[in-house]
Structure 1
Amino acid sequence: MSLSVAILTYNSEGKIEEVIRSIEGIADEVVVLDSGSRDRTLDILKSYGVKVYYRKFDNFVNQKNYLLSLATKDWVLFLDDDEVLTPELASSIAEELKSPSYDGYYLNRLTNYLGRWIRHAWYPDWQLRLAKREKCSWVGSEVHESLKVKGRIGYLKGELLHYSYSSVSDHLQKIDRYSTLFAQGALKRGKRFSLLKLLTSPAGAFLRRYILKRGFLDGFEGFVISVMASYYTFLKYLKLWELERSESSNRP
């Protein structure tokens, strides 16, 4: 079975070379969809002979489905621009594709946050990323997209190393971006602001990460992750309220 590796990029110079190196030997094709990088991302990709296409970003579902349409091989492995395959995972993929037993596969993602590998608050983190090209598509909202596969799903050994945020500022910038996308999408779908959710959901998000997922075992970093989850939840509902108010004030 032949394999396309599909990657979205935007100012991805930090880890993209390591990502490309981790798939050498298993990828028959690497397809990258960029949304306007201004750093060295494109130069790095071109030095590896990678196919790079451009599409203006609107949301992750549309972006990833367009990326899927660019792939030409039997199977597609979707990676983010900061996700690196361990040798064990690369070997698992290569061996499984010699005689696949399923139509799609979950990969277990292990995240590095502020220099620490997070083995509780964000782990295990099974991500459906490998699938037969003709049996998969991306579905979901503007923020919470997921890969839908028609058929049976299996699990692979090895870990997908995720180098999530380079700094606290980087994390806050993504929270700001993702909370805006959530609010815009929710308003578009007719979802209304709830004061009850604004007051209770942030606390629930914190407890889910810190207590239920045992983020306290990840030390100070686990505490920060839990606080950030709470802040993101608060901010997305606050922005929905702001958009609703703005929409109401513009009506005649």
Structure 2
Amino acid sequence: MTRLSAVLCVHNEEQRLARCLDALGFADEIVLVLDRCTDRTRAIGEAYGAVMLSGVFPLEGSRRAAGMNAATGDWILEIDADEIVSAELAQEILASLDDTRFAFRKAPIDNYVGDRLIRHGWGGAFGTSLAARFYRRGSKRWGHERVHPGVTFDGPEGPKFTSPLHHQFADSVSDVFRRLDRYTDLKAQDLREHGGKMGIADNVWRGLRRFWKCYVKRRGWKEGGWGLMIAMMAGLYPLISALRADLDRPSVEAANEPAVALARAA
């Protein structure tokens, strides 16, 4: 029988985890990768019978790969604690488990800020409206970046799901700005370690292109002030990241910590 594993990478998610796990009852297995958790996240996972892997994972790719490798299902559904699988998407996923023609499929993402659904304008490394979260175990590979690592798949893409994954992108406008702060900090560490485009003029131009892409081509203007804010965040992302890479050089020592799995318990 074909099995499905839901895999989540979490850090101190006691406030949101239970609601996310409630929607995953259709999965045969839940795997939690606990990255330096100090709250009740582990206890919540135990209550749901999750397989848990604890460790220190500075890189997003190593966290997600650890979860995939710990899973026993034929297929992986990769979820974050701030996401909810809709009942309709769950049915589509279950109906596709025996289809061996494809290695992965993408699902649409409905992004919320507070109670506001924002459909248009996402992109430029600041949110997405479509993501490959369902894939055959062992078929996905991640890059070594700390944020938004590149991914590749061993095998062809299947048709897109039609039902959405609900994503609580942020709880408030302040949350959006905190996300920009976190993303640019991690990107700056990647730039210092791996290099990349750090020139001010070049990143101003990149930012303008990203703003245009989000606000005009992806119709962020339809969302009013919300779309303008998202487009501005996407446009500022490369410039702020480059500035922080230059100005914050001595600030982060943890970047060189190895990813170490500490414990695994069913």
Q: Which residue of 2 aligns with 1:250?
A: none
Matches within 5 A, 1:146-185: 146-154=150-158, 155-185=160-190
Question: Which AA in structure 1 matches 2:15?
Answer: G
Shift of 1:216: 1.2
TM-score by length of 1: 0.88
Aligned partner of 1:249 in structure 2 is none
Residue 29 (structure 2) aligns with = 29
CA gap 1:9/1:245 in 2 versus in 1, 3 angstroms:
closer
Shift in alpha-carbon separation, 1:214–1:148, aligned structure 2, 3 A? same
1:127 aligns with 2:145: no
The sequence identity of aligned pairs, in percent, is: 27
Amino acid at match of 2:207: P
Cα distance between partner residues in 2 of 1:101 and 1:217: 38
Contact 2:78 2:134 in 1 (8 A): yes
Alignment gaps of 5+ in structure 2:
252-266
Q: TM-score, normalised by structure 2?
A: 0.84
Tell me the residue number matched to 2:264: none
- 1:196 is aligned to 201
**Equivalent position SS for 1:72:** coil
- Matched length: 245
Aligned-partner SS, 1:191: coil
Equivalent residue runs for 1:48-127 within 5 Å: 48-122=48-122, 125-127=129-131
* Greater CA drift, 93-102 or 155-164: 93-102
Determine if contact 2:10/2:81 at 8 Å carries over to the other structure: yes
Tell me which amino acid in the other structure corresponds to 1:232: Y
Q: Choose 52-61 or 97-106, whichever is displaced more.
A: 97-106
Counterparts of 1:130-145 in structure 2, within 5 Å, are 130-139=134-143, 141-145=145-149
Question: 1:109 corresponds to which letter in structure 2?
Answer: I
Pair 1:190–1:237, CA change in 2 (3 A): closer
- For residue 21 of structure 1, report the CA deviation from its aligned partner: 1.4
Structure richer in helix, relative to its length = 1
CA contact (8 A) 1:103 1:153 kept: yes
Q: Indicate conservation of the 8 Å contact 1:116/1:221, yes or no.
A: no
- The alpha-carbon deviation at position 140 of structure 1 amounts to 5.1
Segment drifting more, 125-134 vs 10-19:
10-19
What's the CA shift string for 1:97-141, capped at 9, x where partnerless? 133431111111111123211111128722111111132222352
- The aligned residue for residue 213 of structure 2 is 208
**Residues 111 and 176 (structure 1 numbering): CA distance in 2 closer, same or farther, change over 3 Å?**
same
What is the identity, as a one-letter code, of the residue corresponding to 2:216? I
| Contact preservation (8 Å) 2:11, 2:35 | yes
Amino acid at match of 2:134: L
Cα RMSD, aligned residues only? 2.1
Alignment partners' CA distance in 1, 2:249 and 2:11: 30
- Residue aligned with 2:102, SS: coil
Counterpart Cα distance in 2 of 1:31 and 1:188? 31
Counterpart of 1:125, as a letter, is S
8 Å contact kept, 2:112–2:118? yes
Unaligned runs of 5+ in 1: 247-252
Which stretch shows the higher mean deviation, 140-149 or 234-243? 140-149
What is the DSSP-based 3-state SS (H/G/I as helix, E as strand, rest coil) of the residue aligned with 1:180? helix
Amino acid at match of 2:77: L
Pair 1:245–1:79, CA change in 2 (3 A) = closer
> Quick one: which amino acid aligns to residue 14 of structure 1?
Q
The amino acid across from 1:185 in the alignment is: D
Are the counterparts in 1 of residues 197 and 203 from structure 2 also a CA contact under 8 Å?
no
Partner SS for 1:237:
helix
- The 1-side partners of 2:250 and 2:87 are apart by 51
Residue type of the alignment partner of 2:3: S
2: CA distance, partners of 1:234 / 1:240: 10
SS in structure 1 of the partner of residue 25 of structure 2: coil
Which residue in 2 is equivalent to 1:5? 6
Matched letter for residue 166 of structure 1? D
What is the CA-CA distance between 1:245 and the residue it aligns to?
A: 9.4
Which letter maps to 1:101? R
